[in-house]
Amino acid sequence: MRSRGDTALLRFVRYGQVRRATPHVVVEDSDELVALYAPVGSPCKTAVWDGSPIRGQADRTWRLRDHVWDTYRVLRLMRWGQAHSLELFWEDATGAFACWYVNLQEPLRRSPVGFDTDDLVLDIWVEPDGTWRWKDEDELEEAIRLGRFTAGEAAAIRAEGERVIADWPFPTGSEDWQPDPDWPTPELPSDWDEVY
Ligand code: MG
């Protein structure tokens, strides 16, 4: 297990290739929970096709582009065996809590450089006042049409999101969480692209 303050790489791996890789600071790594923090300014790698972000996510080949995470501070709470990440976003300029985000993804796996999963396209956006909406439903439809998921697989992805909404884990208790000011911005390790 990794220690609080260590760097761990969170990767989306698909068809044996890295699709996204972002270094995080380990907040917790236990038998129940992996909590990872991504500050604004983290260098990452993200998939592009002809220089553009990819919609539908059904492509089998891509190139990776250097990117710097530039939107929110993010704390990702991932429980072993669950097909989602429960995420908290804060405004970087003010530190104000912005929203919750449910990223539907494969259950987490350990890797020598951190943790691997794969993104399952559909997401849920939850406002601080509790209003919520699906994000990228159209992209999930596109992924079915393009053959990445069967209709049954897509229904299972959606059902996971419906379970989260039914359980309603908001607030999570971490809304006032703050990163340790001594943590440096995590860097990409040199072996970020090795798939095991
Ligand atoms: Mg997603």
pLDDT in tens, 136-156: 999 999 889 988 999 999 999
Q: What is the pLDDT of residue 107?
A: 98
Distance from Cα 168 to the centre of ligand 1, integer Å: 19
Average pLDDT over residues 14-33: 95
Q: What is the pLDDT of residue 63?
A: 87
Distance from Cα 5 to the centre of ligand 1, integer Å: 25
Q: What is the pLDDT of residue 44?
A: 95
Crossing angle, helix 137-145 and helix 151-167, to 10 degrees? 160
pTM: 0.94
Asked if residues 87 and 77 have their Cβ atoms less than 8 Å apart, the reply is yes
The residues that are catalytic are 135
pLDDT band at 59 (very low <50, low <70, confident <90, very high): confident
Average pLDDT over residues 70-75: 96
Q: What percent of the chain has pLDDT over 70?
A: 95
Distance from Cα 118 to the centre of ligand 1, integer Å: 9
Q: What tens digit of pLDDT does each residue of 89-144 get?
A: 999 999 999 999 999 999 999 999 999 999 999 999 999 999 999 999 999 998 89
Taking CA atoms, 53 is separated from 8, 20, 133, 143, in Å, by 24, 12, 22, 15
pLDDT at 56 > cutoff 60: no
CA angle 130-133-139, nearest 5°? 155
Q: What is the pLDDT of residue 127?
A: 98
Distance from Cα 17 to the centre of ligand 1, integer Å: 17
Q: Tokens for 92?
A: 């970087």
Distance from Cα 13 to the centre of ligand 1, integer Å: 13
pLDDT at 51 > cutoff 90: no
